[in-house]
Structure 1
Amino acid sequence: MKHGVILAGGGGHALVVAGSLRRSGRAVVGFLDDDPAAVLSLEPGSAEHLGPLSQIERCASSGCGVVLALGDVTLRRRVIDAHAHTLRRGSAVVDGTAMVAAAVSELGAGVYVGAKAVVQVRASIGEHAIINTGAIIEHECRIGSNVHVAPGGVLGGRVTVGPDTLIGLGARVLPGVRIGSGCVVGAGAVVTGDLPDGARVAGVPARPI
């Protein structure tokens, strides 16, 4: 197998990640997905389906880099836990149109920073987090592992987000707020106060649902 990048995932988020990789000159040689007819296989000039997600170690041993390209937080966590050693060796993928400050504290293994996203000074982004298209992470934020900040989400300065949390499309989190692990913040919500682990909120201001 030739050297390049293999995507772990073949759905819509994989299409987005593949676009970022290709624009940066990195070849996508194939993808792993439990569905061989996943949407990535339908793309013009599509990558080859190389097998189910369980084949991550085999593909990594071939000399290719493996990039986690699943958008669903729960599924991502299962794959991360099953293949932690291999995925921890993966590099971050930063779209060429994103702005990541030179003084970012941490950009963990397997992080994806999408098109026109912004990660500001002294922010810390944990392993396998997704900072999706147009999202803004302001100064001194602390983003845990496997957090997904969906397109257009905005986190004010010094926000803390625990692992495995989803910040929905266009949601806003005010400066200094602490959000626990495993939370879901609905699309368009405005979070004005701290949230405990497992909270599910929506609305303006955000309230439990």
Structure 2
Amino acid sequence: MNQNLIIIGAGGHGKVAADIAMKMKKWDRISFLDDNVSKKEALGIPIIDTITNWPEYEQQCDFFVAIGNNTIRKNIMTQLEGNKASIATLIHPSAIIGEQVLIEYGTVVMAGSVINSCTKIAKGCIINTSSSIDHDNNIGEYVHISPGVHIAGNVNIGALSWLGIGSTVINDVEIASNCTIGAGAVVINTINEQGTYLGIPAVLHKK
């Protein structure tokens, strides 16, 4: 681990990530990269350069990609991985993490979240505020779990899927990759087809 952390993206998600990083007290200095050249700081933390210039800092910093869009986050992390950059994991001190939980690099676990035993969270995920993920789940790469989402046990969620705020997933189901589950939706059946799912119970709205 380096003494410096650079957070890529200084929007709302970036500010929350920075707040978590500060509370973790692992880095002496935190900075942002952002492509909005009119912004000079966020949360009192300096924006030191644009995102495209990240290679200039790779030898001296850990990185965290704080971009809410799953595909953009994946693309930037893939570039970092290609250069063997050091990618941080951010876990809020108030999060509750069970035994034998695996959380891969580039993932953020936000305040009030609960991840129960024997669950695997792949790289580049967002586990947002006050969400709960129960036992024996597999959350794929670059998944976004929004605030207040509740996922029961033995659930598999495919890469790049996004579960909207307040949605619920019952136990023993799967959600395919590249799916969007709408806000407040309730998933009670396995979803095998990519698309957007809305309602109670959640049904395919748009492929």
Please report the TM-score for the alignment, with normalisation by the length of structure 2: 0.91
- SS of the aligned residue for 2:87 comes to coil
What is the match of residue 54 of structure 2? 56
Which whole-Å deviations, capped at 9, do the CAs of 1:34-83 have from their partners, x for residues lacking one? Answer: 11345x8243xx2221222222222222x111111111212212222333
Structure 1 partner of 2:69: 72
Contact 1:110 1:129 in 2 (8 A): yes
Equivalences for residues 189-208 of structure 1 within 5 A: 189-208=185-204
Partner of 2:16: 16
Equivalent residues of 2:4, 2:28 under 8 A apart: yes
Say which of 147, 172, 175 aligns to 1:151.
Answer: 147
Aligned partner of 2:175 among 157, 174, 179: 179
Distance, in Å, in 2 between the alignment partners of 1:199 and 1:72 is: 16
Equivalent pair of 1:80/1:87 in contact (CA under 8 Å) = no
1:27 Cα deviation (Å)?
Answer: 4.2
State whether residues 173 and 188 of structure 2, in contact with CA within 8 Å, keep that contact through their aligned partners in structure 1.
yes
What is the identity percentage for the equivalent residue pairs of Structure 1 and Structure 2?
27
- Partners of 1:64 and 1:146 in 2: how far apart? 22
C-alpha distance in 1, partners of 2:37/2:92? 26
The number of residue pairs the alignment matches comes to: 203
- 1:85 aligned to 2:82? yes
Partner amino acid, structure 2, of 1:19: D
Pick closer, same or farther for the CA change 1:37–1:204 going to 2, 3 Å. farther
**Cα pair 1:87 1:110 within 8 Å, conserved:** no
C-alpha spacing 1:47/1:121, structure 2 compared with 1 (3 Å): same
1:166 maps to what in 2?
A: 162
Q: Which amino acid aligns with 2:171?
A: P
Contact kept? 1:74, 1:164, Cα under 8 Å? yes
RMSD: 1.9
Structure 1 unmatched ranges of 5 or more: none
One-letter code aligned to 1:94: I
1:36 aligns with 2:37: yes
**Which of the pair is proportionally richer in strand?**
2
Q: Give SS of 1:83's match.
A: helix
Partner of 1:110: 106
Give the distance between the partners of 2:181 and 2:193, measured in 1 at CA.
Answer: 12
Deviation, structure 1 residue 28: 4.7
Q: Which secondary structure state, in structure 2, belongs to the residue aligned with residue 30 of structure 1? A: strand
Write the deviation string for residues 80-100 of structure 1: whole angstroms up to 9, x where unpaired: 233333577323110000001
